């Protein structure tokens, strides 16, 4: 349920190219970098650092799995991933303070589910990280976030590379099933160890697992709606 953001939580008003009329013919105007405001500079920096951090996670996964196998990935990437994801708590602050236009409840739920996985499940029960599901989950997360944060960084800087937009609104077809199935498997496998710690903990995990199915459907259909909206916008631009 936390593979990709249901909204564009870091999206803010970004400069877009304007059409200029020359002798009755519309030609695209230059894309001007407008990043002078402190808020925009902060968001560009936040997105850039986040994209770079998740790229490090992705690189470690890609290197470690062939070298040491799934069972020994966690020591090489787990600590860095925990804190990279923890920094994303700032996104809840961004939504709550109005720095970005995003629903607080959805953003908080999205971030909380990942915090649960990296701290409440994998950190509490490290043996679960030996599963291939842990590596596949991080692979889905890292690819998703590199694309997402890069998309926001470019948009906030006044540029919109077509390939980044394409990746943003098409890769979720693969990343959603991979990430969600991996998350569900880890939560399911954590129920037994959690019961030994505290039975209420196991009940909470079971409840979360039940919520994942409808929650994931809602997020997936939302991304589909976002994709259709973007495609309609591009089609409208072509007809101008």
Q: Looking at the annotation, which residues are catalytic?
A: 176, 183
CA distance 173 to 161: 20
Provide the β-strand partners of residue 27. Answer: 20
> N- to C-terminal Cα distance for the chain?
38
User: 229 in helix, strand or coil?
Assistant: helix
User: 19 in helix, strand or coil?
Assistant: strand
Q: Could you tell me the two tokens for 187? A: 């939560």
CA distance 209 to 193: 15
Report CA-CA distances (Å) from 240 to 162, 193, 237: 18, 60, 5
Backbone φ and ψ of 27, nearest 5°: -125, 145
Question: Please, what is the Cα angle at 11 between 239 and 90, to 5 degrees?
Answer: 170
């Amino acid at each position: 349920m936390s593979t990709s953001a249901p909204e564009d939580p870091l999206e803010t008003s970004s400069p877009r190219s304007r059409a200029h009329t020359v002798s009755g013919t519309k030609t695209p105007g230059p894309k001007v970098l407008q990043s002078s405001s402190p808020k925009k500079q902060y968001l560009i920096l936040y997105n850039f650092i986040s994209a770079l951090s998740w790229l490090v996670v992705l690189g470690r996964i890609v290197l470690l799995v062939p070298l040491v196998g799934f069972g020994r990935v966690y020591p090489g990437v787990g600590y860095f991933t925990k804190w990279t994801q923890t920094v994303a708590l700032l996104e809840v602050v961004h939504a709550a303070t109005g720095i970005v236009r995003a629903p607080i409840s959805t953003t908080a739920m999205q971030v909380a589910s990942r915090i649960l996985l990296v701290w409440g499940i994998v950190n509490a029960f490290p043996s679960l990280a030996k599963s291939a599901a842990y590596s596949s989950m991080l692979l889905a997360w890292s690819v998703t976030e590199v694309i997402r944060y890069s998309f926001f960084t470019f948009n906030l800087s006044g540029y919109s590379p077509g390939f980044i937009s394409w990746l943003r609104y098409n890769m979720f077809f693969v990343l959603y099933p991979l990430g969600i199935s991996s998350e569900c498997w880890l939560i399911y496998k954590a129920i037994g160890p959690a019961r030994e710690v505290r039975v209420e903990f196991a009940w909470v995990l079971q409840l979360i697992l039940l919520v994942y199915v409808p929650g994931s459907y809602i997020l997936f259909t939302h991304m589909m709606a976002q994709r259709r909206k973007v495609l309609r916008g591009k089609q409208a631009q072509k007809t101008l």
